[in-house]
Amino acid sequence: MSIDPTNATIIEDNSSETASSGGYEGTNPALLTIYLFIALLGVIGNGLVIFVLARVPSLRSFTNVLITNQSVIDFTSSIIFFFLYVTPKPKLPIQPKFAMFVCKFWYSEYPLWAISVSSTVNLVCLTVERYFAVIHPLKYRNRFTINRARLLCLLPWIIGPLHEIPWLMVHQISGDLAVDENNATIDNRSCWATWPEEPVGLQKAFGCIVFIDHYLVPLTIMVYVYIRIVVRLRKDMPTLRMGVGVSSGTLPGSRKENHEDSDLPKNKKSSMKLPSQPRRRFAIMASRSVLKTMVIVSLAYLICWGPNEILYLLFNLGIAVDFASVYFYTTVIFVLCNMCLNPIIYAFHYGELRRGVILACHCCARKIPVSSRATMQSRSYSLNVNGSSNDAYEQSQSNKV
């Protein structure tokens, strides 16, 4: 039996059969086409995001470093998924130790589940980053530097592989090689997730732990953080609208107020003295673009992973789950879509990334007049600590209307 992509994967494939089949045994062509489309969309979409964020210097901020890391993780998971589910599965090698390694590392789909945990951890880091950017802006401005963001990016890549080690360890090879009367080798081996009888309830405990720290804890953090942010924004905006007007001499989003950019040298930051209310209002305005994007990314994660995580929990608790049902395959496709959804969300909701695509592509940039290009570059450079200055300006204009 071969069960499609989920942590509940149990593999009982005869290696001589799986070697000649594409992807998983029994995968119909329509499903295989969907897998191929999702994998390619994930590689192309996340690859474009990585290219733009790495190519355009003005997009280098704490937030965008984490977004780049998220795209690298999703890009890697798309490649791993392609080789796991679209290409033929390799046979178990004859050499016992190497065969055990292939069983534990590849047949268990350990790389895919490890990187999925890394994706979750990085998304939680982005959520917490938004919390400090809005709730504690001064602390965020002083402590959340790009170098620290790069160090923080290592955390998901460490936690993910460590988290899935138990799933790797429980996979064992059953059966052996036999010889028939014609001296032909018959491979009766298969790779299973074999849970030890002692201690009792180990599989149930592992299933509960995975559900809690891979879904319930991120869900709790995201809900708490975004509720706090919404409450804070609603509390601050009426006061700031009354206290800040044209008479303050500085419009939100204007060049005079682009002092919130964390990439500027500290001496330039300190030389820009502006009233605290305009500064705070601009910070709130500028945070909305990134905040909206991150909320949608978080919702996409929760919706895509929720049904499959619940099925996996029920399976580990001993409740019968039909892994051949339409509902199960629907949850599988939802999980896979999460790998390629983020670039689409960025394209529709993250204005700076859209402008970055134009700046990164020389063929497009050459078509823009020199004066317009310079203006675009200067505006794109004006990224503040909380996100897009251009989106903040557009938001401020809509508020005045």
- β pairing state of 190-193 and 171-174: antiparallel
**Can you give the length of the chain in residues?**
401
CB-CB contact of 354 with 347 (8 Å): yes
Structural domain for 358, as ranges: 15-178+185-400
What is the domain-level CATH number for residue 318?
1.20.1070.10
Rg (CA), the chain: 25
For the stretch 349-361, pLDDT in tens is 666 666 777 776 7
Q: Has residue 34 been placed in a domain?
A: yes
- Domain count for the chain: 1
Q: Has residue 352 been placed in a domain?
A: yes
Instruction: For the chain, give the longest Cα–Cα distance.
Output: 97
Q: Has residue 239 been placed in a domain?
A: yes
φ and ψ at residue 329, rounded to 5 degrees? -65, -30
Coil, strand or helix at 85: helix
Q: What's the pTM?
A: 0.73
* Cis amide linkage into residue 265, ω under 30° from 0: no
Lowest-pLDDT range of 54-58, 179-183, 322-326, 348-352: 348-352
Q: What is the pLDDT of residue 83?
A: 93
The token duo for 46 is 């996340």
19-23-24 Cα angle (round to 5): 85
Average pLDDT over residues 146-155: 93
Q: Has residue 341 been placed in a domain?
A: yes
For the stretch 85-116, pLDDT in tens is 898 888 899 898 999 999 999 999 999 999 99
For residue 253, pLDDT beyond 90: no
State the residue for tokens 């009982």: 12
Q: Has residue 10 been placed in a domain?
A: no
- β pairing state of 171-174 and 177-179: unpaired
d(CA 187, CA 184): 10
State the residue for tokens 């964390």: 262
Quote helix, strand, coil % in the chain, to nearest 5: 70, 5, 25
Nearest of 155, 16, 170, 160 to residue 80 by alpha carbon:
160
Q: Interhelix angle for 276-316 vs 217-243, to 10°?
A: 160
Q: What is the pLDDT of residue 184?
A: 79
Q: Has residue 7 been placed in a domain?
A: no
CB-CB contact of 59 with 109 (8 Å): no
d(CA 291, CA 297): 10
Q: How far are the Cα atoms of 121, 160, 167, 301, 305 from residue 218, in angstroms, in the given order?
A: 8, 14, 20, 10, 11
For residue 198, pLDDT beyond 80: no
d(CA 117, CA 138): 31
d(CA 399, CA 379): 20
Q: Has residue 387 been placed in a domain?
A: yes
Q: When comparing pLDDT for 396 and 36, which is higher?
A: 36
Q: Has residue 8 been placed in a domain?
A: no
User: Phi-psi bin for 109: left (phi > 0), alpha (psi -120 to 50), beta?
Assistant: left
Q: What is the pLDDT of residue 276?
A: 54
